[in-house]
């Protein structure tokens, strides 16, 4: 495949630079200076990106002592090796970047690198694959604003999961998605219709953990942009309707040592090694404390309800999709776990940092692994492990007060991210919905 840097330089075109904010939204601009194509280069970029919510309202995040209206520039390190084409028409290249300098310790990608360094210091590496569910609507940005939700037209009507008929009927769209991902060096291992109107699931091929998160964040942004070029709108909301299934962002993880899968032990029950037991034990032990990184929005909690193929409490099981952690047995090359807490609305860097950071704490503390769940894990919400925090406010409080979170992610990041989530909670919780008016107006 042609190297992205060479192709971009040869064409004489400018490229785009993108960096993740707290919400996992790629913010950026076209670059007029191509020096970064040859080596990582530090440029200046507005620090306001780390102080905006998803509607560009300023969050008093506490990372700057300046007045809220007086944002300056931050150092941004452009990652020269990350360049890839992100458009199915022509050659439009995107390069990822990280915040540096005094903003490095609150940069989402930097937080994941920090966690992965801790893993590497123990002599381990992580292989990761993301899965995302998203919905396509036959709408535009204008019609979405102008029409009530009940009039939005999904790409397909009603549930029909894994439908071959629908896949064939929409083979042109599927073909474009597959080609776009291949062109962007984001190969997929699966693409199919999910059980919901216009619902599609894409499985991104596994690779090194940091590269997997890079692919995931580009994939989400790229799919939304591609959909608009086709007169469609794509959403990765965790729950768009109480009548439809939620949209997940599951993460597959394995840990290696000396080139071997350290999760696999041929002599152990279900091949679950001691290291894997410790890793899952840590994930379960700290899942509630770290959950806000995997369930980051007000809407996210509407997905975590019993009977909807989403976990409701810290639990694990062997090939059990009702659990928060699903062990997937296999040979040495395939044995892994699936971290099922995140929805599709996550910031991939932070969700993965949560999943791996809690696991490495489990290894460091020799965390005990509770009994596995056989059957519906939703029936265990009354057990000592309890259920997940029930709101963004509760999850944020637990994260902000967690010594383990400060240990893994750093005090400054915990403070800044917690502030952003409290802001998000306040922005939504006081809104009065049409449902409330219909339910209470006359009878109360």
Spell out the CATH class of 115-435: alpha beta
Cβ within 8 Å of residue 403, ≥6 positions away: none
Identify the helix (H) or strand (E) that includes residue 7.
helix 4-11
> How many whole angstroms separate alpha carbon 237 and alpha carbon 435?
19
Q: Work out the burial of residue 141: count CB atoms within 10 Å of its CB; fewer than 13 is exposed, 13-18 middle, 19 or more buried.
A: exposed
Chain-centre distance for alpha carbon 2:
29
Which residues of the chain are modeled with pLDDT < 70? 1-13, 32-39, 61-70, 380-385
Chain-centre distance for alpha carbon 424:
17
> How many whole angstroms separate alpha carbon 180 and alpha carbon 183?
5
DSSP state of 262: T
Identify the helix (H) or strand (E) that includes residue 261.
strand 260-261
> How many whole angstroms separate alpha carbon 98 and alpha carbon 103?
9
pLDDT at 61: 60
**pLDDT tens profile 30-54:** 876 565 566 688 889 988 889 899 9
Which CATH number does the domain 4-103 belong to among 3.10.20, 3.30.70, 2.60.40, 1.10.10? 3.10.20
pLDDT at 159: 84
Q: What are phi and psi of 95, to 5 degrees?
A: -115, 130
Q: Where are the domain boundaries for CATH 3.10.20 in the chain?
A: 4-103
Select from 58, 16, 19 the least CA-distant residue to 33: 16
Cβ within 8 Å of residue 366, ≥6 positions away: 278
pTM of the model: 0.94
Using N-to-C axis directions, what is the helix angle for 274-290 and 348-364, rounded to 10°? 130
Q: Backbone dihedral region of 14: left (phi > 0), alpha (psi from -120 to 50 degrees) or beta? A: beta
Query: What's the Rg (C-alpha) of the chain?
Result: 22
pLDDT at 124: 98
**pLDDT tens profile 123-143:** 999 999 999 999 999 999 999
> How many whole angstroms separate alpha carbon 364 and alpha carbon 382?
29
Select from 114, 27, 122 the least CA-distant residue to 363: 122
Token representation of residue 276: 């894997």
pLDDT at 9: 43
> How many whole angstroms separate alpha carbon 102 and alpha carbon 261?
37
State the CB neighbour count (10 A cutoff) for residue 242.
10
> How many whole angstroms separate alpha carbon 405 and alpha carbon 413?
9
Are 400 and 421 spatial neighbours (Cβ–Cβ below 8 Å)?
no
Q: Where are the domain boundaries for CATH 3.30.590.10 in the chain?
A: 115-435
Angle CA(270)–CA(276)–CA(278) in degrees, nearest 5?
A: 125
> How many whole angstroms separate alpha carbon 79 and alpha carbon 38?
10
């Amino acid at each position: 495949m042609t190297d992205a840097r060479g192709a971009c330089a040869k064409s004489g075109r400018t490229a785009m630079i993108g960096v993740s904010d707290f919400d996992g939204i790629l913010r950026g601009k076209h670059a007029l200076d191509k020096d970064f194509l040859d080596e990582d280069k530090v440029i200046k970029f507005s620090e306001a990106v780390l102080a905006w919510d998803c509607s560009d309202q300023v969050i008093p995040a506490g990372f700057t002592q300046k007045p809220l209206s007086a944002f300056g520039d931050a150092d941004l390190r452009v990652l020269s090796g990350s360049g890839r084409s992100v458009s199915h028409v022509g050659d439009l290249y995107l390069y990822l970047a990280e915040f540096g300098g005094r903003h490095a310790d609150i940069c989402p990608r930097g937080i994941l690198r920090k966690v992965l360094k801790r893993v590497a210091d123990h002599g381990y590496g992580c292989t990761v694959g993301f899965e995302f569910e998203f919905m396509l609507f036959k709408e535009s940005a204008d019609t979405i604003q102008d029409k009530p939700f009940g009039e939005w037209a999904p790409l397909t009507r009603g549930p029909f999961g894994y439908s071959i008929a629908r896949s064939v009927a929409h083979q042109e769209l599927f073909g474009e998605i597959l080609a776009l991902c291949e062109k962007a060096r984001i190969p997929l291992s699966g693409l199919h219709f999910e059980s919901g109107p216009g619902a599609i699931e894409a499985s991104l091929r596994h690779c090194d953990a940091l590269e997997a998160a890079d692919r995931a964040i580009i994939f989400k942004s790229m799919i939304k942009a591609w959909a608009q070029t086709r007169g469609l709108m794509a959403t990765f909301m965790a729950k768009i309707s109480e009548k439809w299934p939620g949209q997940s962002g599951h993460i597959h993880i394995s840990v290696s040592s000396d080139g071997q899968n350290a999760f696999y032990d041929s002599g152990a029950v279900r091949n679950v090694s001691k290291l894997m037991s410790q890793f899952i034990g840590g994930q379960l032990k700290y899942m509630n404390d770290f959950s806000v990184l995997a369930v980051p929005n007000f809407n996210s909690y509407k997905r975590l309800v019993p009977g909807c193929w989403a976990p409701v409490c810290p639990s694990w099981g062997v090939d059990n999709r009702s659990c928060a952690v699903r062990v997937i047995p296999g040979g040495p090359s395939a044995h892994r776990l699936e971290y099922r807490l995140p929805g599709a609305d996550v910031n991939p860097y932070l969700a993965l940092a949560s999943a791996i950071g809690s696991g490495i704490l489990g290894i460091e503390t020799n965390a005990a692994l509770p009994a596995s769940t056989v059957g519906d894990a939703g029936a265990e919400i009354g057990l000592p492990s309890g259920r997940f925090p029930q709101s963004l406010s509760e999850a944020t409080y637990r994260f902000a007060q967690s010594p383990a979170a400060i240990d893994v992610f750093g005090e400054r990041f915990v403070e800044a991210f917690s502030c952003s989530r409290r802001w998000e909670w306040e922005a939504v919780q006081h809104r009065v919905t049409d449902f409330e008016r219909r339910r209470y107006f006359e009878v109360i």
